[in-house]
Amino acid sequence: MRSKVTVVLLFLNVVLFCYIYYYDRPLIDARQLLEASHQVLPTEIASMDSLTRTNRTGETVRLEKRNDAWWLTAPYDWPANPNAVSLIHNELQFLKNITSFAVADLAKSGQTLADYGLAEPAYTVEFTAAKKTFKLLIGDDTKSGNRLYILSPDGTRVHVVSRSLAESIGLALGDLRAESIFTIPVFEIRSLNIQTAAPSNLKVRLRRDAAARWSFESPILARAAKTAVEVAINALSALNAKTFLETRDTDLDRAGLTSPALRVTLEGNARRETLLLGNATATAGDYFAKIEDKPVVFIATVPAPLLEVLRTSQETLRDPHVADFDPAIVTSLTLAAPGQPELSLQKLEPTAPAAGSTARATAKEGWQLVVRAPGQAPVTSAADTELLTELLQKIRLLSARQVVDAAGKSKFAFLSDAPSAADTENYGFNRPEREITLGLSTGGGPRGNEPTTLVLQIGLSPDQPGKAFARLTNPTFVYEVLPDILEETPARALHYRQRLLRELPEGALLTSLALIDLTTNKSLYSQKLAEGVKNWDAAIAVEPEWARKPIAGILAQLRVLRAQRFTAETFTPDHADTPQGPRPWRYRLDYTISFNGGGSAQSTPASILLTERLGGMTQLAGTADFGGVVFHVTQELLDALFLVTYGGPQDPGPVVAPATTAPATTLPAPAAPVTTPVEPAAKP
């Protein structure tokens, strides 16, 4: 059955082919022949490489193709508008006549070429293509007005064609030239050179490397601000020639182009273009200008912000960041401060799985503290990875501060590129307030040749209170920076200690919770889960509505116990050290952890001592657990404790005991006083 279908389809294909070949092919050939007969210009026009247009007054415009780009070469040398050239080229390439007649037949009717405007044509168009030269004469319009007469290149026939040919050929000079001053595409630009006029005669050169970073090569070797440079280059590329002046009528000295105020050069792939900017004209923002290797002078409108950037490029295009590094390749960080032991932080590599294990390596990297004191062995402890990540970002973003100069303009405080010995002492670098050493992984940077160590110094000057200064040991450029960096980089191990004190595993359960006021030995809240209860839902449900959320918040914070920051390395059971002096502990938070889902066999008691709330965001906590620590509680725990310790709303209303078998709670009325002395819970 399938073979029969195949044979039938094959037969139908053969019939269709025969029909096309014997019946349609002659029609197609005839149609193509007819179209070819209406074609005015030869097919070589597709490879046109020059065009000259001359009108009746003798004004000549010439276009030439150079390296796949069209240029206007007469009446002056300037890049051509590619859209205009494409319009003319397409019009000539697809030019077809509506009708035509032989020149030899004109005498029979008593007419000449002058009757069609071809003796003195409106336009004479000469173009070269395929190493051949062609000439086309464009005459008058027909009586209908929407068509015109042209003389064929061989001079034997007069064609009637669409009026659109004259409209494209007759484009104004302003439409034929490109508006942009620079022709090098932005993505191709590799270098920017700026030279100001005497007396400063400052030459600034910036270059882009393979990693798309910009840097100064002159007058100093320094990093450039990538965004600022690219914005300036985009603004330069957007500059347009507003008006062209007659070269013979232009005095270059009066225009300020003999000794231009600015000389701006863009370099691309094996080509460069230099703009000379002269004196200002009577119109605000307009300047006389010219391209260095072209005689034509024009007027260009230069925005004031761009002009200011070009004149002060050494500062405005400079990277204000003190250090340039990738935080991801930092392997160590060392902090040193006067009179304090050196503090080191080291990045720990991800844990690799054991041999033969199917477990994956731990993706998250950690940090550890290393404290070295004279005469003692180094002491290590876990560091807070999140804090270190933020710190490295702050160091990377450390920038010269912005100051206002005498003229009222804001600028970055680049103080010295080659400080003397006196400058070094005056800025406080002989004994820096902070010295931060970053160890970098070899070859980890985008350039591939970054140093393996960066040393950042922060200095303070006794003669300039309130100011801080920063520099790298290489190069030694000096920047004025905000002094906040000193608060962000204390050389105290306690500041960098791991702030996540404990995170209970998923199967662990808090089985009891009690908050005791140590001044009265009264229990402000006390609850214990019954044997076998797996969560606190029923126990919290019997509390007043105002108390449910804070109690749930305390339980959540105890499961993931985190310090806001640490205040002391040792824990004292009878008081907490504060900036205002010793403060007695006011509350004790007792709780029990069961690691077997609520059973008492593996229950562990624990306690946390708390001060009063010392401020809107301050309450200290201390515990003998975790080696003994004193810390600021998190804002979430502080807010939850406040509602419980102060009894919630002023008038919570009567408590209606719900019908439940859950254990009774002491809220909102406090429990009976504890008759036995309350001591801090011992470390388990």
3-state secondary structure 567-626: EECCCCCCEEEECCEEEECCEEEEEEEECCCCCCCCEEEEEEEECCCCECCECEEEECCC
- Give me the CATH number covering residue 547: 2.60.40
Alpha helices in 74-220 (DSSP H): 82-93, 164-169, 173-176
Using CA atoms, how far apart are residues 167 and 388, in angstroms rounded to an integer?
Answer: 69
Same domain (yes/no): 238, 113: no
The three-class DSSP label of residue 656 is coil
Compute φ and ψ for 229, nearest 5 degrees: -65, -45
CA distances (Å), origin 34, targets 232, 423, 624: 57, 89, 103
Paired tokens of 519: 């001044």
Q: Is residue 48 part of a domain?
A: yes
Same domain (yes/no): 311, 343: no
* Among candidate residues 462, 496, 530, the one where a domain is terminated: 496
Paired tokens of 83: 């859209």
Using CA atoms, how far apart are residues 113 and 288, in angstroms rounded to an integer?
Answer: 47
Same domain (yes/no): 417, 527: no
Paired tokens of 218: 């002159």
**DSSP string across 375-387:** TS--EEEEE-HHH
Containing structural domain, residue 291: 186-316
Same domain (yes/no): 489, 505: no
Classify 636 in phi/psi space as left (phi over 0), alpha (psi -120 to 50) or beta: alpha
Which pLDDT score, from 0 to 100, does residue 38 have? 62
Same domain (yes/no): 483, 518: no
Q: Is residue 13 part of a domain?
A: no
Same domain (yes/no): 527, 635: yes
Going from the first residue of the chain to its last (684 residues), give the mean pLDDT of each consecutive group of 10, the final group possibly shorter. 74 73 54 54 89 91 91 91 92 88 85 88 91 90 84 88 89 90 93 88 92 92 94 95 80 90 93 94 93 91 94 93 92 92 88 49 72 79 92 95 82 90 92 94 57 90 90 93 94 91 90 93 91 88 90 94 89 87 92 75 86 89 90 93 76 45 44 36 35
Same domain (yes/no): 71, 132: yes
Q: Is residue 670 part of a domain?
A: no
Which pLDDT score, from 0 to 100, does residue 176 have? 92
Q: Is residue 479 part of a domain?
A: yes
Number of domains in the chain: 4
Element (H, E) at 539: helix 537-541
Using CA atoms, how far apart are residues 441 and 451, in angstroms rounded to an integer?
Answer: 9
* Among candidate residues 156, 176, 196, the one where a domain is terminated: 176
Which one-letter amino acid corresponds to residue 606? A
CA distances (Å), origin 246, targets 61, 252, 255, 293, 299: 15, 12, 13, 16, 11
**What contacts 493, CB < 8 A, 6 or more positions away?**
343, 369, 371, 381, 569
Using CA atoms, how far apart are residues 430 and 446, in angstroms rounded to an integer?
Answer: 33
Q: Is residue 477 part of a domain?
A: yes
CA distances (Å), origin 129, targets 19, 45, 46, 151, 212: 41, 6, 8, 18, 41
How long a stretch of residues is the chain?
Answer: 684
Q: Is residue 11 part of a domain?
A: no
Same domain (yes/no): 337, 479: yes
Same domain (yes/no): 335, 468: yes
Q: Is residue 234 part of a domain?
A: yes
* Among candidate residues 446, 473, 496, the one where a domain is terminated: 496
Using CA atoms, how far apart are residues 130 and 48, in angstroms rounded to an integer?
Answer: 7
Which pLDDT score, from 0 to 100, does residue 637 have? 94
Same domain (yes/no): 389, 410: yes
**What contacts 219, CB < 8 A, 6 or more positions away?**
202, 203, 204, 314
Using CA atoms, how far apart are residues 194 and 308, in angstroms rounded to an integer?
Answer: 12
Alpha helices in 381-446 (DSSP H): 385-396, 421-426
Same domain (yes/no): 160, 52: yes
Which pLDDT score, from 0 to 100, does residue 666 have? 46
Q: Is residue 421 part of a domain?
A: yes
Same domain (yes/no): 159, 55: yes
Using CA atoms, how far apart are residues 321 and 481, in angstroms rounded to an integer?
Answer: 10
- For helices 545-559 and 635-645, the axis angle rounded to 10 degrees is 140
Using CA atoms, how far apart are residues 403 and 464, in angstroms rounded to an integer?
Answer: 15
